Amino acid sequence: MSRARGPVLVSYYRGYLVPYVPTPEPVVKAMLELANAGPEDVVYDLGCGDGRIVITAAKEFKVKKAIGIEIRDDLVLQARRKIDELRLNDRAEIIKDDMFNVNIKDATIVTLFLLTSVNEMLRPKLENELRPGTRIVSHEFQIFQIPGWRPKKTVKIYDGIVGHTLYLYVIKKEVKELRAGASSRTPTPHSKILFLKENT
C-alpha cells in the first residue's frame, strides 16, 4: 500500500477493506533482500496488487516460483499482462482469489502489505499452513503484537520520499508435532504463538 497520492482504491478480503497503494520499487527489493530470496525459494505475495513483488522476485531474485494472490479483476489483468510481456510465465503466476482461500503450504517466503487487522486475521492461516523456516516479511504493519510474534528483525528504509518499516518473522519448531499435540487439547487464542522466532 504505502502512502497514497490521489484516490485510494480498495480490495475486500473476507469483508475486510484493504487499501491498494503500490509498494515503491526500492521497498519491494528491500523486502526480498530481507527475506534473503533466492533460486530455491517459493514466494507468495498476499494481496499482490499489480504484481510488482512477484515480478521482481522472479526477474531479479531468480526465485523458483513467485505467486501473487489478488482478488480485484483489474489488478489481476494488469499483473498477468506484465508477466506475459516479460516472459516470466514459467516462474511467475497470479491467482485471482481471496487470499484466505488459497493454500500457501509450499511457500518459503510470504510477503505482506496489509493492515494490522488483516494480518491478525491471517495469523491462524500462517500458523497452520507454513512450514518451519518460512520467512514472512510485512511492510509497515506488524502481524500481531503479542509475545512470540515479535519480529526477528526490523528494518527501516527511505525510498527518497518517505520512510518505511519492514518486519521479518521466521516460522520455527516442528509444527506437525506441536499441532498434533494441540489438536487433542481445547485451543486457546494464542496456542501457537511459539511458532515464530523472537528478536535475538
pLDDT tier at 190, thresholds 50, 70, 90: very low
Q: List, in order of start, the domains of the chain with CATH numbers.
A: 9-195 (3.40.50.150)
Please tell me the distance from the alpha carbon of residue 143 to that of residue 45, in angstroms, as a whole number: 15
Averaged pLDDT score across all residues of the chain? 79
Q: Whole-prediction pTM value?
A: 0.79
What is the DSSP track for 43-75? Answer: EEEET-TTSHHHHHHHHTS--SEEEEEE--HHH
Task: Please give the pLDDT value at position 107.
Answer: 98
For the cut 60, the answer to whether the pLDDT of residue 81 exceeds it is yes
- The identity of residue 189, as a single letter, is P
Which residues, in sequence order, are CB contacts of 73 under 8 Å at separation 6+? 96
Strand partners, 169: 136
Residue 69 has pLDDT above 50, yes or no: yes
pLDDT value at residue 60: 97
* CA nearest neighbour of 103 among 67, 78, 72: 67
pLDDT tens readout for residues 12-49: 554 546 777 889 999 999 999 999 999 999 999 999 99
Q: Between 163 and 107, whose confidence is greater?
A: 107
